[in-house]
Amino acid sequence: MRIDAHQHFWRYNPQDYTWMTDKMESLRRDYLPEDLAPLLAASGIDGTVTVQAIHSLRETRWLVELAERSRFIYGVVGWVDLTSPRVDEQLAEFAGNPKFRGVRHQVHDEPDDRFMLRTDFARGIGRLKQFGLTYDLLLFPRHLPVACELVERFPDQPFLLDHIAKPLVRDRQLEPWATDIRRLARHQNVFCKISGLVTEADGQHWHPADFSPYLDVVLEGFGAKRLMLGSDWPVCTLAGHYGDAMKLAFDYIGHLSVHEQAEICGNSAARFYGLQLRSSGIPGSTR
């Protein structure tokens, strides 16, 4: 079983997708399930977890609708306003859908580096467990100490670190990222996605060896049972093809045991998100 635990869909408009800079011109179009399906088949991927890209309840509703129509979308990580006094109402709207598995906020775009520790936001995090929902951490390296404080406050809440916190691969800088990652990994309620790496390197001129020091750190810290793979499609296309991003991860874990590879390729994502797995309907998939 192979699960791409991190990809996106959108119908592009400049008003909502303000984070797409001029250097991301190729992303400024629609990316939909019919665009992704042949890429999954070519890489032998059985299903995906689709993740929010903007702070919008409207987008969250749309992603849930896509998941209901697309058999290969195993789960949705959407957005709700965790700072809202009506957060329970928003969570209740989605939590009853078996494909809605978690929540994410684009914390790394907040001007306050300690946003996650704000009273209103932390209160919203504290409501997730009651609804059986996970939380994806989208961070830059400087946010890792704050993330450690957050997960310490909520030891029973499942957290998942996206993109291994976007280390400075382009600058070949390991510290203090590595020290902070090891500290975060000590918390057993935190998992980690090997995803979004190629766009942290030197454009399309990266080499697999560029990422090995960073992957070594997360493998040592989290172990196979708390690691999973994600493409970050279509963002990954800024630095290569879908298959390139997935092959990078598959090749890295190729030296591990069959059991460890199975954990990272799919079992960890299925367990963390509580995915209801079924035939994807993708020609050539293994399920």
CATH of the domain at 51: 3.20.20.140
Confidence grade of residue 281 (pLDDT, cut at 50, 70, 90): low
CA distance 143 to 146: 5
Residue 280 lies in a domain: no
Residue 284 lies in a domain: no
CA distance 168 to 165: 9
Q: Do residues 207 and 284 touch, judged by C-beta distance below 8 A?
A: no
Residue 217 lies in a domain: yes
Residue 137 lies in a domain: yes
Mean pLDDT of the 242-246 span: 95
Q: In angstroms, what CA-CA distances link 177 with 61, 121, 137, 168?
A: 35, 24, 15, 8
The pLDDT assigned to 28 comes to 97
pLDDT at 230 over 80: yes
* DSSP codes of every residue in 260-283: HHHIIIIIHHHHHHT--------T
pLDDT at 284 over 80: no
- In whole numbers, what is the pLDDT of the chain averaged over residues? 95
Confidence grade of residue 202 (pLDDT, cut at 50, 70, 90): confident
pLDDT at 4 over 80: yes
pLDDT at 276 over 90: no
Q: Do residues 171 and 208 touch, judged by C-beta distance below 8 A?
A: no
* pTM for this prediction: 0.95
Please name every residue paired with 160 in a beta bridge, in sequence order, or none if there are none: 136, 191
The pLDDT assigned to 198 comes to 94
| Sheet-wide strand order for 3-7 | 3-7, 47-51, 73-78, 100-105, 134-137, 159-161, 190-194, 227-229
Residue 225 lies in a domain: yes
Confidence grade of residue 287 (pLDDT, cut at 50, 70, 90): very low
The pLDDT assigned to 286 comes to 44
Supply the DSSP symbol for 78.
Answer: E
Q: Which domain holds residue 109?
A: 3-273
Mean pLDDT of the 213-223 span: 98
The pLDDT assigned to 282 comes to 60
CA distance 213 to 211: 6
The total number of structural domains in the chain stands at 1
Confidence grade of residue 205 (pLDDT, cut at 50, 70, 90): confident
CA distance 46 to 34: 15
pLDDT at 125 over 50: yes
pLDDT tens for residues 74-85? 999 999 999 999
Q: Do residues 144 and 152 touch, judged by C-beta distance below 8 A?
A: no
Q: Do residues 90 and 81 touch, judged by C-beta distance below 8 A?
A: yes
CA distance 87 to 153: 19
Torsion angle of alpha carbons 69, 75, 80, 85, nearest 10°? 110
pLDDT at 280 over 80: no
Q: Do residues 44 and 72 touch, judged by C-beta distance below 8 A?
A: no
pLDDT at 151 over 60: yes
Confidence grade of residue 204 (pLDDT, cut at 50, 70, 90): confident
